[in-house]
Amino acid sequence: MGNQYSRSSLIIKVNRAYWAGLALLACAAGDLSAEPRSWDGGGVTDAWGNASNWSPDGVPTSTTDATLGSGITPNLIIDAKGAFVGFPVGVFDPALLRANSLTISTVNPFKIDGALFSVNEFFFSLLTLTSGDLTRQDVAGAEGDHVIDASVLLASDGLWNVSGAGKLIVSSIAESGGSRTFTKTGAGTLQSSLNVTGAKTVSQGTFKGSLNGAGMATFESGAVFDASGISNSNITLTGLNGSFLFTALKSEDGDSAQINGQIILADNLAISPQTNSAIVLMGGITDNGMNKGFLMSGSGLLQLFGPGLFSGNVSLFGEGEIQVGHNTALGAGVVRLTDSGPGNSEIPTLALLDGITFSNPINIRSSRLGVEKFSTAATNATVVSNISLEGLFAPETAFLDAANANDTLTVSGNISEAFVGSIVKKTGNGKVILSGNNSFTGGLTVEAGELVAAANAALPAGPPTVIQAGARLGLQGNQTLTKPLQLFGAGPEGLGSLRSNSGDNTWAGSIALGANASVGATAGNVLTISGPVTGAFGLSKVDEGTLRLTNSANNYTSLTIADGTLSLGSHEGIPVGVPLNVSAGGSVSLLNSTSINRTLNLNGAGNSATVAALDNEAGDNSWAGPVILQSASTMSARADSLTVTGNISGAFPLSKVGAGVLALAGSNSHGDTSIEQGVLLAQSGEALPSGRTVTVGSGATLQVGNGVTTNATASLRLNGPGSAGLGAISIAQGSGTFAGPLTLVTDTTIGAASGTTLMLAGQVSDDAVPLPLVKVGPGTLALAAANTYRGGTFANSGVLSVSSNVNLGDPAGAVTLNNGAKLLITANTTTGRTFHLNTGSVQVDAGVTLTYDGAIVNGGFLRGPGTHAISGQSANLSGVTALPGSNLTQSSIATLNNFNNSGSLISNAALIWDGGYNTGAGHVIVNSTLNLSAFENNGVVTVNNGATLSNSGNDLVSSGGSRIIVNSGGAIELNSSSLNLHGALIVNNGTISGTTNVHFGSLAKGTGSYGTVNVFDGGVYAPGNSPGLATAATVIFDNSPFSGGGPTLQIELAGTTQGTEYDHLDVSGQLSLGGTLKVALIDGFAPVAGQSFDLLDWGSLSGTFSAIQLPTLSGLAWNTSQLYTTGVLSLTAASRPGDFDLDGDVDGRDFLVWQRGGSPNPVSAGDLADWKANFGDPLPASANSTAVPEPSALVCSLVTLLGFAIRQRQ
């Protein structure tokens, strides 16, 4: 029966000096009586020291052998407290508790109560055994526990024979009078705290309690150390045959023991911790080279923290657990785990603690291998050895266990089987990693937690690997696995029953769905399922990584992307008729330039800032199936382009992200559209839903497709410069129209690529603050509505086309052209704006007039073929160039500053032109007053009747190739300046006041009135207009030395009537001659002898012509003798050669005429030769005629006359 007096733990604090002193006292009080005494209970009290309780009467002494036998009544309490005097310190009489030996021979339980109370701790009475011996006999019957609640002192080496079924419980056993040994024999159980310094030997039965003292402890074969309740026993266990050599070690139910010292195996050790008990071995186990091991049975726990220096095998049998806290705790032998047989649901467990790398070969028979921990921190352990499933006659089952979610057991060794069909099951919520080459054939089942296949051969051949609900198979290391697989459920935490944990992993085997299942990959990793996925269940993609489905034999019933990305290179992996459901946080990404024709139910913004719910990963891909927005959703094109040809429905907003192009080509009915990044291309008229708003964010672009006109009720809100500066709205090919209203929200641009035209048919307005319309790109932007934006208009390149001034927004807004941009006017319109053309131009279409009514134009160019008209309020053009082919008409007062004209300019009102050119292609027609300064003419200027060209400041220059035409009634007023003529001046009865300088290569021609005319070397002055009459105040022909032929006066003769048939120059002031007089006949005129022509009139005359060029007339001769007196040329009949005075003979008077310049070519050797040849022909008809001189006399006379003549001309 149970002992109601015993304590569950008998650990006492004892001072060695205290024990030694009391032992000496006991010896000094010894009695010489040696007569045995037996308890008979005859005394008044049950005190040990009552002599009447003993037979014969008398208290046992140190020489007395005492027996507790038949006189012991059941549950007797023998008072052994002795004499106790004083408090708080007790004084004891040791003479009352002593015996030579003690024999217990009763089945009745009893207790010797020697417990004393002190202030700070318990003390016990001392029972001194002189011989040190105690015998507990095995009496027939059911012995109860016998308790000696006192400290037993051994005065000699103790030999205790403890037999019987019950326990002998002794508070403590100590030595007295020196070092003592202690030996326990008998099959019974002794429970005590043994405190001796000599050897301690348990040769039979069981010793339970603590072992203290320096001596070695030996448990011989068959003996058992029950370490229950032992904690921090500080025993050093060394040597081979000393005490504490183990063959058996156990702990009772509910008790625990910790042994700090080393255990030496004298034989194979049996260890049996019982249920709810633990044996903790801190010091390790050694066999001193004896090749010993141990067998653990029982259902308790064995914890090993020290090194295992033994080579025998370790067997775990039954239901217990070994926890390994040192890499070599189980020595170097084989570790066998064996269950207790069929029908027992409990199996043995080998558990590895955190950081353990286990290298013992492991044989498993229906047992569990796992990890264990003492705290909430993660436990990670590794098995590098091979594991054998050791069924002898039937397949075995091994359990790989990681109990807690953050535990990891790695098995890098190979798992094999001894009998075909053995099974491995993964249990626990933690992770088991298999990286070996495993060959068991019965299949693998993951019941909970995660099993990771880190090698291609980690999963065995044979039946499918089964992943049960709540469990997961993880892949890592870029593996390709071809085994069959069965999936049930969503996996731990809903993150997949099949998952790629690291790397790009492929499942090429078949997958059978046994329920709705989830698969996935962690962030940055990829799971490719190339094998068929079958089963009438749904498949979900979870976690943040990427899934690829490629097998056309898939027949799952639904597909949901709950998180991460489904990457599609084709739609073969999605069964026909199965919709693709993308949840918020999920994404479908396309690549390989594919076309997907499946229904898409879309939700959310995808799984990152650039990977949207529908995403284009790479290549030019398309989605041909219908897209249903079930909530606000996002589409992206990270690169290249994604075209959605299917219709997009659902009354939810759509956002576009990513740097690539998203093209919408269906008939869409979704909510508002937001373009946050990249380009959204409207490829159909219904791409932008009717009645909805498209908002373009800064850095994004809405692109209108070729031939597309968008819904007129789809509105647009623009921000920023567009994607890559394309413009917030743009066109890339052909022509297209955005038909709805457009609002400028922030500073933004509108673009058109080269060769394209984008029309904005709806009204363009701005938002809260005035904003400009800015056009970019080399193509054409056409504005068609009455726009109201207030910040002005900027065209930074290409063409901006308008048909009306209202197209350009608020009338007060300026138009600015940069980088050669062009403003194209396509219909008649009037503007009063300010234009900053810079290097740009305004072009007016053919048949179209742009009227500047109070407008200001700065810089740039005017183009035709239409008309630029200045009318109404005064206009100002500054730094402007009218290009060839342009037409500018002016009907109201205007000012031109630094204006260059290469087209046609017709001035019909007062015009100020300060600086600039009329280029060689330009033609200026003056019909009113043109005031010039700092002006140069290189083209044609026509001054018509009633018009005045007035130049002031710098001289008026008309360069080579230019013409100035002054028609009748027209006038040029040079004021204090001059006209420097390098081209042609044609005066048709007009008036030029001031000085005209006719320079080299130039021609001043015509009738009318001149001021001063200076004709320089190479210049030609031709009064009249074929012919005509010209008047001038002063005409001076430069008589300086010249190299270009000198100045020329050109006279045309067409008859004999002055001013109408031949030219006449009437100079009211000075006429200074020089250069050449060139006379020409025109209109077929043939003069006759006797006709004269009054060419010149003057107020005063100076100089002569250096040459006179007269037309040669047959039978006629020119008479120039009156040219310098009356300005007349006349004709006579032809005379003999040398008859220079035209008197019919050749004589000395002719020579005098020749030497005075009277011949056609003064001092001409040819004329002189004629005179010499004909001298004296004919002779005078007179009787007194002078004889003809001899030739020699004639020659002498001629030489004399020639010398005289030369002196005279010098």
pLDDT, averaged across the chain? 88
Percent helix / strand / coil, the chain, rounded to 5: 5, 45, 50
Task: State the pLDDT at residue 343.
Answer: 59
> Length of the chain, please?
1210
Identify the CA nearest to 170 among candidates 196, 145, 191, 187: 191
Per-residue pLDDT for 1133 more than 50?
Answer: yes
CB atoms within 10 A of CB 868: 28
- The encoded tokens of residue 14 equal 């004892």
27-36, 158-167, 1011-1020, 1071-1080: least confidently modelled range: 27-36
Return the pLDDT at 1155. Answer: 77
Confidence class of residue 430 from pLDDT cuts 50, 70 and 90? very high
Among the listed residues 607, 665, 668, the one whose alpha carbon sits nearest the alpha carbon of residue 636: 607
Task: State how far the Cα of 719 lies from the Cα of 533, in Å rounded to an integer.
Answer: 47
Strand partners, 1170: none
pLDDT at site 90: 44
Q: Is pLDDT at 234 greater than 60 in this prediction?
A: no
Residue 864's pLDDT is 93
**Mean pLDDT lowest among 231-245, 303-317, 416-430, 688-702:** 231-245
User: What are the structure tokens assigned to 495, written together?
Assistant: 């993150």
pLDDT, position 161: 96
Q: What is the pLDDT of residue 250?
A: 64
Nearest to 616 by CA among 663, 650, 577, 652: 663
pLDDT of residue 155: 94
Instruction: For residue 898, give both structure tokens.
Output: 């630094």
Of 232, 240, 283, the closest CA to residue 258 belongs to: 232
Whether the predicted model's global pTM rises above the 0.75 cut: no
Measure the CA–CA gap between 186 and 202, rounded to whole angstroms: 9
> pLDDT: is 795 or 262 the higher one?
795
Q: Give pLDDT, residue 1189.
A: 41
The answer, yes or no, to whether residue 25 has pLDDT greater than 50, is: no
Residue % of the chain over a pLDDT of 70: 88
* For residue 891, pLDDT beyond 70: yes
Helix (H, G, I), strand (E, B) or coil at 851: strand
What Cα–Cα distance (Å) separates residue 461 from each residue in 213, 440, 508? Answer: 59, 8, 14
1157 Ramachandran zone, left/alpha/beta (phi>0; psi -120 to 50): left
pLDDT (mean) for 474-485: 95
User: pLDDT grade, residue 955 (50/70/90)?
Assistant: very high
Q: Each residue of 581-639: pLDDT tens digit?
A: 999 999 999 998 999 999 999 999 998 877 899 999 999 999 999 999 999 999 999 99
607 contacts 584 by C-beta, under 8 angstroms: no
Residues 262-320 pLDDT 10s:
888 878 888 888 888 888 888 899 998 999 999 998 888 999 999 999 999 999 988 89
pLDDT score recorded for residue 911: 98
Taking residues 1038-1056, what's their average pLDDT?
A: 90
Residue 232, number of CB atoms within 10 A of its CB: 11
Q: How far apart are CA 522 and CA 778, in angstroms?
A: 47
- Rg of the chain (C-alpha set): 66
Q: Are strands 887-890 and 875-878 parallel, antiparallel or unpaired?
A: unpaired
Instruction: Name, in order, each residue with C-beta under 8 angstroms of 759's C-beta and a sequence gap of 6 or more.
Output: 735, 736, 737, 738, 781, 782, 783, 784
Residues 6+ away with beta carbon under 8 Å from 1151: 1140, 1171, 1201, 1205
pLDDT of residue 2: 35
pLDDT(24) > 50: no
Average pLDDT in the 407-432 region?
93
956, 1012, 1031, 1033, 1075 from 996: Cα distances, Å: 9, 6, 13, 11, 18
* 3 state SS of 122: strand
